[in-house]
Amino acid sequence: MEKRSLLQRFIARPEFGPFVLLAILLIVFYVINPTFLSTLNIGNVLAFAPELGIIALAMTLLLTAGEIDLSVGSVFGFSAVIMWTLFNSGVASLEIAFVLAMALSLVIGFCSGFMVTRMKIPSFLVTLGMLLVVRGSALYITDGFPQRTWDASGSWLAELLVGDFYIGELRVWASLLWFILLAVIIGYVLTQTKRGNWILASGGNANSARARGVRVNATKISLFMLTAALAAFAGIISSIRTSAANPNSGTGYELEVIAMVVIGGTSMAGGRGTIIGTVLGVFILRIMRNGIILIGVPGLAYNIFVGAIILGMMALHSWLERRHNAGV
Amino acid sequence: MTDLVRMEHIEKYFGRVQALNDVSFNVKEREIVGLLGDNGAGKSTLIKILSGALTATSGDIYIKDQKADIRNTGDAIRYGIETIYQDSALVPQLSIARNLFMGREPVKGRFGQLDQAHMNEVASNLLKQVGISKPIPPTTPISALSGGERQAVAIARAMYFESDLIILDEPTNNLGVEETQGVLRFVRNARDSGHSCIFIAHNIYHVFQVVDRIVVLRRGKKVADDIDPKKTTIEAVEHIITGMVEA
């Protein structure tokens, strides 16, 4: 096999496509409407992107391990509702309510993982069921009403999760720092550690991994738990930032998150995943949503562009794969 | 030469169908045994019992004269028995080095970091040792390798982890002439570095080229045990397999 040049190797990487796409989007939006790159607008994008982005990081690992979780949007809404219901009804302090909501999300993730690995039910079906159970629970607990909004200022927990500060004129939320921290940790785990190798092996060829002593079931269950926990974490962050805990919030997020992950170059079939790609995918979709409105495309047309981009990226990934693995 | 593995009076029923009827089978140290038989003769069943994929209805397995209790593939690997199936047990998306160490990854430091430099170095040396002629970087994904090269990686893995017995189930299927010669060479290299092999193949010509001894099963029974490929002909062995001649 001949040595490839640095450029060729860069092009062959799964992150190359999303990287180019993100660059094109930034340039096009900026040329059409220069306020796109104003500090105010960048601040807006950076406020919302981490919330879906945190879920996308966990979803990347889950897809890499060959599984999927459709219940993340429900868990996103449910956990915030649980936390605020416990707090508003005086059952628990905010900190205790936070811990309980997170613990409940781990139980949800464990149940999904258990049914997928031990009962051998496809994760698509298990988490579709879980989506309805969790969303239904959120609606039932609240009678369908949003939880009382609450002024988050003053709580150290709220400050830790979504406090904000300014860098010059740029308003930065703590949730962005959480996203960066989690992206670094999860990216490190996936590419550099034994646990990461197990995730890749579980998704690539579960039977042979198992025969080699890889604990496939434990790996997958822990990823379902991580995904549910990060969906809950993101939901709680979102509820504090917007001062609202609506039992319907997060509806449809599962598909947007999955779209972010696959646009970034992670394989739906398992065995291949990239956190860098996911971060790019997160910003591609958030910047699309933001930029399309700024340049005057009707907001209702947003989904046409997202859909077209997903299809285009899939075509590009498949083309690059065939080109660089030619002769296999 | 002493016995590495001895299977005694193995019987296996699937419901009321008897797949193995009082089969005793042994492999000595540093020996390549060819296991032959027509479809349904019981080769796969016997091998699956040894590799932990099935359990015998009755009978005993001894490894280095110690009674062994093999209930699953993990047990077999711990006993030093490695099975390489067709489209071998590799993860196509992962690199050669990562596949070699799968499940037994070397780590360094406090954060469970893979020792990738060590993995790549060992992988390079192993690929040379197993006899792959062209240089392949250890970071190459398995999906970019040919069928014969994949067999080589699987054999190299078994050699590195000191598997005493390497079972090759149809390793030359779907391979070209040159690739087949490569795999046969890997098998000989494995024996020469101290491993025993069981070689199962439909193609008797391939078996004849590499094995020290041939065992034949027919309809669940052992019908020949000690055929020396140097002292017989392919036709004679074919006749034993099909039952035209009793051994």
Domains contained in chain B, number: 1
Q: Where are the alpha helices (DSSP H) in B31-146?
A: 43-51, 73-78, 96-100, 116-130
pLDDT in tens, A62-89: 999 999 999 999 999 999 999 999 988 8
Domain membership of residue B69 (yes or no) is yes
Domain membership of residue B183 (yes or no) is yes
Domain membership of residue B143 (yes or no) is no
Let me know if A126 is exposed, middle or buried by CB neighbors in 10 A (0-12, 13-18, 19+): buried
Domain membership of residue B218 (yes or no) is yes
CA distance A286 to A281: 9
Of B111, B136, B144, nearest to A328 by CB-CB distance is B144
CA distance B195 to B210: 14
Q: Which domain holds residue B51?
A: 3-91+149-242
pLDDT per residue of chain A (328 residues) written in tens, 0 to 9: 445 677 777 777 778 888 988 999 899 999 998 888 888 888 888 888 999 999 999 999 999 999 999 999 999 999 999 999 998 888 888 889 999 999 999 999 999 999 999 999 999 999 999 999 999 999 999 888 887 766 556 688 888 888 888 887 788 888 999 999 999 999 999 999 999 999 999 999 888 888 788 899 999 999 999 999 999 999 999 998 888 889 999 999 999 999 999 999 898 888 889 999 999 999 999 998 888 888 888 878 878 887 888 888 888 878 877 766 543 3
* Closest listed residue to residue B4, CA positions, set B58, B80, B56: B80
User: Residue B40: which CATH number?
Assistant: 3.40.50.300
Per CB-CB distance under 8 Å, the chain B contacts of A328 are 143-144
pTM above 0.90, yes or no: no
CA distance A219 to A67: 11
Domain membership of residue B136 (yes or no) is no
Per CB-CB distance under 8 Å, the chain A contacts of B98 are 197, 200-201
Q: Say whether B111 and A204 touch across the interface (CB within 8 A).
A: no
Domain membership of residue B19 (yes or no) is yes
pLDDT in tens, A105-119: 999 999 999 999 999
Q: Which ipTM did the prediction report?
A: 0.78
CA distance B76 to A205: 20
B165 touches chain A (CB under 8 A): no
Q: b/e for A89-103, b at 16 or more Cβ within 10 A?
A: eeebebeebbebbbe
The enclosing H or E element of A135 equals helix A123-142
Q: Out of A229-238, A263-272, B143-152, B173-182, pick the least confident.
A: B173-182
Let me know if B193 is exposed, middle or buried by CB neighbors in 10 A (0-12, 13-18, 19+): exposed
The contacts of residue A175 (CB under 8 Å, 6+ apart) are A47, A50, A51, A54, A161, A162, A237, A241
Question: Is A11-321 a domain of CATH 1.10.3470?
Answer: yes
Domain membership of residue B105 (yes or no) is no
Arithmetic mean of pLDDT over chain B: 86
The contacts of residue B240 (CB under 8 Å, 6+ apart) are B216, B218, B223, B224, B227, B246, B247
Of B103, B107, B144, nearest to A213 by CB-CB distance is B103
CA distance B180 to chain A (A): 18
Domain boundaries, chain A: 11-321
Per CB-CB distance under 8 Å, the chain B contacts of A188 are 111
Determine which of B94, B104, B142 to mutate to test the interface with A (most A C-beta atoms within 10 Å).
B94
Domain membership of residue B120 (yes or no) is no
